[in-house]
Amino acid sequence: MIVMKFGGTSVGSAERINDVAQLVKSYQNSKPVVVTSAMTQITNQLEDMARLATTGNRKRVIAAKLAALKSAHNQAISGLGLEPSAEAALRAIIDDKTAKLGNILKSVTALGELTPRGRDLILSFGERLSIHLVAAALNAQGVPAVAINATDFLVTDDNFNDAQPLLTLSKKRAQKLLLPLIEKGTVPVITGFIGATRDGVTTTLGRGGSDFSGTILGYCLDAKEVWIWTDVDGVMTSDPRIVPAARTIDKMSYEEASELSYFGAKVIHPRTMIPTAELGIPIVIKNTMNPKHPGTHITPSGDTAAKGAKALTLMKDLAMITIQGKGMRGVQGTAARVFDTMAAAGVNVLFISQASSENNITIVVEKAAGHVATRTLRQAFATEVRAKRIDFVEYHGGVSLIAVVGTGMRQHVGMAGSIFSALGNGNVNVIAIAQGSSELNITIVVESKEDAKALLCIHDALYAAKGENS
Ligand code: ASP
Ligand code: MG
């Protein structure tokens, strides 16, 4: 059995939904279980309507938006090639659901207030609608399919807007509900993104949560694999818009995938991998537009034979703060104080490095947090500055972080060396560098205006020579 998750663009129009149905049909023998997002942009529109409703006086605007949402679905239905009776049944479902949604929006408007619980209910409608279109398209192509709302089995805590699944309970319910269907050859088409509390109140797993629904289902059904269908050929060695030579990585480990997403690569959210990691179920990232391409396989051990780097990511436009002073030498706990101060200020530290001379500590944070970080650090170290143990706390905007990630970098001598020579040859100035103690990544700080050049130089040096992506 294979769980196949389709994102919003993959079900964004009649044409795309028909493609999805064709694709699922071609894998019918593997017992596919389908998880789908809302049609593209629909969740954003629902969020918009929910927000407007809280103003209490935008009834007409909301009604117009609701009509547009309904017509987007109806327009897609016209292109699914359904029998008249199936089409009428489907339109009735859309009528019914959008009418319910309209009533909920009216009550929010009357109250002028939206609870997290109410927001989840409103946002759940995108998937509540899309499953019916996908299931109908499958049936039209001769694949028996049934639309299923995940609230029927996926139990979560009541942390609305960002609920956590209760896996053991969900597993029991999922098996009971879904296995008999799968056994008789029916494809379940399940809402991504949503679940319900033990009491049956709708929750969501957080925006973009459909991938998570896919891996939760993989866990619950002990699937052979979970396939995340998207619009690129899997995870690339780097951003192809900047590095034309970037190519698909065929295998990577869970650890590498979470490291990459930490550094801003849109691989798959680390939380998403938890349910499948536990059972060692592979996650495959595949392209709906190019289904023949094998994509990227994320497995517990990845490519154990691979040497060197796996991928390069770029985080642009960050801020760097340097704490400089000879008096820091030998003083214990300076780095710890930097972290404590940042944690207290609610600033996430993306990078830290300390020169071995201990004359300075450099941190990199999101640009938006740069000034707060600088101000709080100046306050925290004011005594040291007065005592001249610290010379200054300096702010520097416009830097970028490049992370080179790969398990194969462990015990691999000369990685930092080749990166530095590549940058030297390319005339790129390296501002700071750090290596994670896991040796899974090397992170470099450069000026943002030089970041594309830096990325190209490193990619060239690490991959071009090898002619393979290991
Ligand atoms: N439809 C939801 C969202 O847009 C969930 C998803 O697409 O993953 O956030
Ligand atoms: Mg998505």
pLDDT value at residue 14: 98
**CB burial readout 94-105, b (16+ within 10 A) else e:** beebbeebeebb
- Pick the atom of ligand 1 nearest to 7's CA: 7
Closest to 418 measured CA to CA, from 448, 452, 460: 460
CA 424, 426, 430, 436 torsion-angle sign: negative
Q: What is the pLDDT of residues 24-47, one digit of tens each?
A: 999 999 999 999 999 999 999 999
pLDDT of residue 436: 76
CA 140 vs. chain centroid, Å, equals 32
DSSP string, 318-377: EEEEEEE-GGGTT-TTHHHHHHHHHHHTTPPEEEEEE-TT-SEEEEEEEHHHHHHHHHHH
Quick: pLDDT tens for 244-285: 999 999 999 999 998 898 887 877 888 899 999 989 999 999
Question: Exposed, middle or buried by CB within 10 Å (0-12, 13-18, 19+), for 119?
Answer: buried
Q: Would you list the DSSP string of 51-117?
A: HHHHTS--HHHHHHHHHHHHHHHHHHHHTS---HHHHHHHHHHHHHHHHHHHHHHHHHHHHT---HH
Cβ atoms within 10 A of the Cβ of 412, count?
A: 15
| Residues in the chain, pLDDT under 50 | 467-470
Q: Determine the 3-state secondary structure of 284 from DSSP.
A: strand
DSSP state of 430: E
pLDDT at 238: 94
Show the domains of the chain with their CATH numbers. 2-231 (3.40.1160.10), 311-463 (3.30.2130.10)
Pocket-testing residue among 6, 11, 43, ligand 1, by greatest number of atoms within 8 A of Cβ: 43
> For residue 91, how far is its CA from the centre of ligand 1 (angstroms)?
23
Q: What's the 119 CA to ligand 1 centre distance in angstroms?
A: 14
Question: 443 pairs with which residues across the strands?
Answer: 403, 434
Strand 202-204 with 194-196, pairing: antiparallel
Q: Is 210 in the pocket of ligand 1 (CB under 6 A)?
A: yes
Give the pLDDT confidence score for residue 469 in this predicted structure. 42
Tell me if 214 CB under 6 Å of ligand 1.
Answer: no
> What is d(CA 208, CA 45) in angstroms, rounded to the nearest whole number?
14
Q: Ligand 1 center to residue 131 CA distance, Å?
A: 13
Rounded CA Rg of the chain:
25
Distance between start and end Cα atoms, the chain: 30
Please give the pLDDT value at position 265: 81
Using most ligand atoms within 8 A of CB, pick from 207, 216, 266 the residue to mutate for ligand 1.
Answer: 207
| Nearest-CA residue for atom 8 of ligand 1 | 208
Antiparallel, parallel or unpaired: β 187-191 and 202-204: unpaired
User: Which is the closest atom of ligand 1 to the Cα of 210?
Assistant: 8
Between the CA of 274 and the centroid of ligand 2 the distance, in Å, is 18
Cα 73 to ligand 2 centroid, rounded to whole Å: 18
pLDDT at 330: 67
- Name the closest ligand to CA 127: 1
